Chain A
Amino acid sequence: MLTGRPIPQNLQIAWRYTAPFLFVLAALFLSFALRASFGNPTWFFFPAAVVSATWIGGRVPGWIAVIFSTLVVQYFFVPPIGSLGVNRHDLPYFALFVVCEIFASWLISWRREAEDAIRRARDELEIRVAERTAELKHANDALLSQIEEQRRTEEALQTTRTALARVVRITTIGELTASIAHEVNQPLAAVVANSDACVAWLGLKDPNLSEARAAAERAIQGATRASEVIARIRSLINKAPPERTPTELNAVIQETCALAAGQAARNDVAILTDLAADLPGVVADRIQLQQVLLNLAINGLEAMSGITGRARELTIRSRVQEDSQVCVSVEDTGIGVNTETMARLFEPFFTTRAQGIGMGLPISRSIIEAHGGRLWAESTLGQGTVFRFTLQRVEAGKA
């Protein structure tokens, strides 16, 4: 980059072409001034003028200085003085002078041009560096905004995924409506029957307080149970942001079994659990895990709806694997899944059930993968299907 105040282009050119005349005239003046002191012809100022003019102006002003100084020397210093002629005697000396001037001018202009080339190259380089820097900055800005956009998209995706998971959860609950209604109605029926009994015992001519108390206590138990069922459902339906907390997987499995128990009874299926006693905790979103388990359980129950002649059993197991992962399996004794269906099992909107929406398994898989685990299925036609998922265990001492 050019430093200092830039000189206007016109002034610069004028100076370059004026300089040869000024320098030669200065040399002329100095030569006249010093002739009295030396007595010898004092031409040596002229090569200095040529060198300076060439240095300042370049090749063409250099030549101008050479020609002008040659004429001046010829006129004022080479005999016959006062004319442009040259005596034969002085010719070699004068010629040598001219050659020296030409050589000096050529040398300096060559040097100057080389320096100019370097300067131009440097300037050009600087300009290109500036350009590249600007380009890079631009690219960087674009990248940053893309990253920001990506982040926003991911955030939106996360929000959508959470909302979708909730919708699927509610749909899953919807499939359980009949058995949930039963789950709530049973304890309420108990409340009514026992309250009636309590009132009846109190209304006797000789009230039986111990019977009345026993009935009232059963009514309270029933009411408590009804509210527990409702709390379980509500926690599943609630719109809660996903969170990661240390979670006991076995407890989640047992809660899921409680939720699915009604449906299992309706489908005449026995739910068996085989839980590892020393199961380490996992860091997870409890509600989402419950959703995955509930979905797998309902799938299993549905898969056994047409089964006769063998036990209808849904077995949920929890195990610690050697690679320090925790593995949960949900196994049914249903009809099994053929290869084509197996390949599409986790596709969105793929379903084999009339009332299914085909989102349960894809959502379950995305939930497990968001937890850093894996969810997959294995099936034997005519024997049943087992779904397994793994989760990273909480490291010892961090639980």
Chain B
Amino acid sequence: MKEPDPIVFVIDDEALIRDGIGSLIRSIGLRAVTFASPSEFMQSKRTDAPGCLVLDVRMPGQSGLDLQRQLSDAGVHIPIIFITGHADIPMTVRAMKDGAMEFLTKPVRSQDLLDAVQKAIEHDRTLRKQRAELAEIRTRFDLLTPRETDVLTLVVAGLLNKQIADQLGTSELTVKTHRAHVMEKTKADSLAQLVRMAERLKTSLQK
């Protein structure tokens, strides 16, 4: 499956600035889409592609920081590069804590911005890949029956078939059958891979 081209979203209330930044980004061969306000961005239909957001902090109405919160609450994961006229420390801290990739001050040095954009897109690619893998694992694990899930839990905990059979009050042969189904459904090549997948799922659920 070929990955769609990355897109950079630029949100700034200042037309000259967003057009300039958009133009700069297009000049290195990336797609850029510009918006005059966060609400305009939220209302737009976005294609599923790796990308990042170049966001002005200070805008009339909804600020960039507000949009960051809103996106995070809505479960939209997209790396954000903030640009601002003057950055005070509390503002920067809040933005970075909420997962901003980069905080640049206006006027922005083009190389800094392009580097940040590249880095953010790369980051998004990785995240997207991880999210995709995790989603895949989850679909596979969802196929398991409750009994198979029980067996899986004990297998991952490091118990032998015999011990599992004892705990579940069943025969070792039955456990072996369940275990084979688990390996088949999760497409695990080895016990080690099964354990890794189970761990990843567990950490993602804990998050």
Which residues of A are at the interface with B, using a C-beta cutoff of 8 A?
A: 181-182, 185-194, 196-197, 200-201, 204, 208, 211, 214-215, 218-219, 221-222, 225, 265, 268
Contacts and interface: CB of A to CB of B under 8 A. Distances in A.
Contacts of A192: 20, 106-108, 110
Contacts of A208: 27
Contacts of B23: 193-194, 197, 201, 211, 214-215, 218
Interface of B: 14, 16-17, 19-21, 23-24, 26-28, 58, 60, 85-86, 106-108, 110
A185 B85 contact: yes
B8 to A, nearest CB: 13
Top 4 closest pairs, chain A to chain B, by CB: A193-B20, A196-B110, A190-B16, A192-B107
Contacts of B24: 193, 196-197, 200
The DSSP consensus for interface residues of chain A is helix
Contact of A193 (B21, B26, B28, B86): B21
- With most chain A CB atoms within 10 A of its CB, the pick from B27, B28, B85 is B27
B105 to A, nearest CB: 9
Nearest to A201: B27
21 contacts: A182-B85, A185-B106, A185-B107, A188-B107, A190-B16, A191-B107, A192-B108, A192-B110, A193-B17, A193-B107, A194-B16, A194-B19, A194-B20, A196-B20, A197-B21, A197-B23, A200-B110, A215-B23, A218-B16, A222-B20, A265-B60
A186 B20 contact: no
Contacts of A219: 20
Contacts of A211: 23, 26-27
B9 to A, nearest CB: 16
B16 to A, nearest CB: 4
Contacts of B28: 200
A218 B18 CA distance: 11
Contact of A189 (B19, B26, B60, B106): B106
A188 B110 CA distance: 14
Contacts of B58: 182, 265
Contacts of B26: 211
A189 B27 contact: no
B107 A181 contact: no
B20 A215 contact: yes
Contacts of A200: 24, 27-28, 110
A187 B86 contact: no
Nearest to A204: B27
Contacts of B86: 181-182, 185
Nearest to A220: B16
Given A189-B106, A190-B16, A192-B110, 12 more contacts: A182-B58, A182-B86, A189-B85, A190-B14, A190-B20, A193-B24, A197-B20, A197-B23, A197-B27, A201-B27, A211-B27, A215-B23
Contacts of A222: 16, 20
B27 A186 contact: no
Contacts of A194: 16, 19-20, 23
A192 B58 CA distance: 18
A214 B19 CA distance: 10
Nearest to A211: B23
A205 to B, nearest CB: 12
A201 B23 CA distance: 9
A190 B106 CA distance: 9
B17 A189 contact: yes
